[in-house]
Structure 1
Amino acid sequence: MVVALAMEWRELLFANWPVDPDVVSAHLPDALAVDSHDGSAWLSIVPFTNAAVRPRRLPSRLGIDLPELNLRTYVTVDGTPSVYFFSLDAEGLLGVIGARLFHYLPYYYARMRHGDDGNGRNRFESRRFHPGARPVRFQASYEPAGERLDPTPDSLATFLTERYRFYTEAPDGSVRYSNVNHDPWPLYPADVTIEENTLFRANGFADPPGEPVCYYSPGVDITASPSRVRKNATR
């Protein structure tokens, strides 16, 4: 039985690259349409710690902490702005298995480190060890750099972060979604150094040119609904 989940997303980096919409569209299920901002689609890498993950009715002290790294883009389905996940790497083997079996999410087992680097910056390191999967290595450090942002509804920051539904494609080709609920993201400009990143190539993309647009967030508490099939959405 698939249950709703509660979790606490902490110390996030949103690193975002503009790309041609046709590049993204070629990697999406037919049921999903690319969502663009100022004519560009966006690919985003998001490292963070997914803390106190548990069934929604359990107290947070019974949850587990999972460092996580995902590659995502932005789509619309029936007019609803949403996220589409290409891949999600995570530290916990049991969590990865459970997310694949019960929530149909493309999780991959990785060994990760996420914490303070000793100088007040977040340090995130990930190396994928999932059997049969393409290898991924990612290393970055980041920290907030400036005052808290106050993004307008039509801003790029809002476009990239304020999404309350995510989609994935299950192994059988069906398109599935979950709804999420959380407070608006507290966002800051981010100072970021990315030392190694093979996540794009592992998902069939060329490395986007240029520097990413980056935001930092200390995090929010999140609830996610059970995974549901979008009807009439198979290839």
Structure 2
Amino acid sequence: MTFLNAYWRNLLFINYEVDPKILEPYLPKGTELDFYNGKCYVSMVGFMFMDVKVLGIKLYNHINFEEVNLRFYVKHNNKRGVVFIQEIVPKPLITLVANSLYHEHYTTSNMDHVWKETHDSLFFEYRWQVNNKWQSIAATTEKEAVPILENSEEQFIMEHYFGYTGHKNKTFQYEVLHPSWLHYKVKDFNSAMDFEANYGTDFEHLKYAKPTSVILAKGAEVSIKNKLTVHK
């Protein structure tokens, strides 16, 4: 059964290689880390939820909104998915529902975004507040969206189709359906954020780390299925 339908638009991924030992405490039981060419990744992701329907119903004032999250990549029985360290949205009801029903790690903050177009580029920025200080990630891209290449880092990052969460020794899985995304080639990016304030001391070092890649996916319609218990 489908829980949520939406359009995920203009997804900005800033990807970092990390020591796998940092992520092991965050692994839901029964999952294992997923690697690309021997590398373990976390990704900062900012994007827009648009035209949101929950159980087929549009909720007033909860149709379009920003999200920023930090995630990493796992496998469970050969199904490739993601685990979220934390997700930030501007809507308290979304936080309540996601944390209560899906055992995710949402928090609520003031947020906004900027999308701009010039004659030769596109600009995307996502902003949110932590401890009354504005944080941001942004990228400037080419204007033409292109397909992702087979077996590329972009494909690894963008094509994990399950989410996993852990709660009271149980592990839950939910499927996320969407077509393969086009992406805009990134010319430049900027990250102005406090990793420790956002995600704790385990991720403080990312403030000084150079991303392995920055990706801007055009996005598409998505469907999020109801959760299943896969480990207990």
TM-score by length of 1: 0.84
User: Residue 206 of structure 1: which of 179, 204, 207 is its match?
Assistant: 204
Q: In the alignment, what sits opposite 2:128?
A: 126
Q: In the alignment, what sits opposite 2:172?
A: 176
- TM-superposition CA deviations, 1:159-190 (whole Å, max 9, x none): 110111111123x3421111011111111222
Partners of 1:217 and 1:199 lie apart in 2 by 26
What's the offset of the Cα at 1:19?
1.5
Residues 1:66 and 1:173: Cα distance change in structure 2 (over 3 Å): farther
Q: In the alignment, what sits opposite 1:220?
A: 220
Partners of 1:139 and 1:107 lie apart in 2 by 18
Match runs of 1:132-143 below 5 Å: 138-143=135-140
What's the offset of the Cα at 1:48?
0.8
How many corresponding residue pairs?
Answer: 225
Residues 1:157 and 1:68: Cα distance change in structure 2 (over 3 Å): same
Gaps of 5+ in 1: 130-134
What's the offset of the Cα at 1:103?
2.3
- TM-superposition CA deviations, 1:125-155 (whole Å, max 9, x none): 11147xxxxx986312223236534333321
Partners of 1:156 and 1:200 lie apart in 2 by 28
- TM-superposition CA deviations, 1:14-68 (whole Å, max 9, x none): 1101122232224323321010111110000101111122224346999611210
Tell me whether 42-51 or 92-101 shows the greater mean CA deviation.
Answer: 92-101
Partners of 2:137 and 2:57 lie apart in 1 by 33
Residues 1:3 and 1:161: Cα distance change in structure 2 (over 3 Å): closer
Question: Is 2:66 the partner of 1:67?
Answer: yes
Partners of 1:166 and 1:153 lie apart in 2 by 22
What's the offset of the Cα at 1:201?
5.9
What's the offset of the Cα at 1:193?
1.0
Question: Is 2:30 the partner of 1:27?
Answer: no
Q: In the alignment, what sits opposite 1:42?
A: 41
User: Residue 167 of structure 1: which of 164, 169, 172 is its match?
Assistant: 164
Partners of 1:97 and 1:224 lie apart in 2 by 17
Partners of 2:214 and 2:71 lie apart in 1 by 14
More strand per residue: 2
- SS at the partner of 1:22? helix
What's the offset of the Cα at 1:199?
6.0
Are the counterparts in 2 of residues 136 and 199 from structure 1 also a CA contact under 8 Å?
A: no
Q: In the alignment, what sits opposite 1:104?
A: 103
- TM-superposition CA deviations, 1:93-114 (whole Å, max 9, x none): 1111111122222110111011
Q: In the alignment, what sits opposite 2:229?
A: 229
Q: In the alignment, what sits opposite 1:187?
A: 183
Tell me whether 178-187 or 95-104 shows the greater mean CA deviation.
Answer: 95-104
More helix per residue: 2
The CA RMSD measured in Å over matched residues stands at 2.7
User: Residue 158 of structure 1: which of 145, 155, 178 is its match?
Assistant: 155
Gaps of 5+ in 2: none
Q: In the alignment, what sits opposite 1:16?
A: 15
Identity of aligned residues (%): 20
- SS at the partner of 2:49? strand
- SS at the partner of 1:64? coil
- SS at the partner of 2:231? coil
User: Structure 1 residue runs of 4+, over 6 Å off?
Assistant: 59-62
- SS at the partner of 2:203? coil
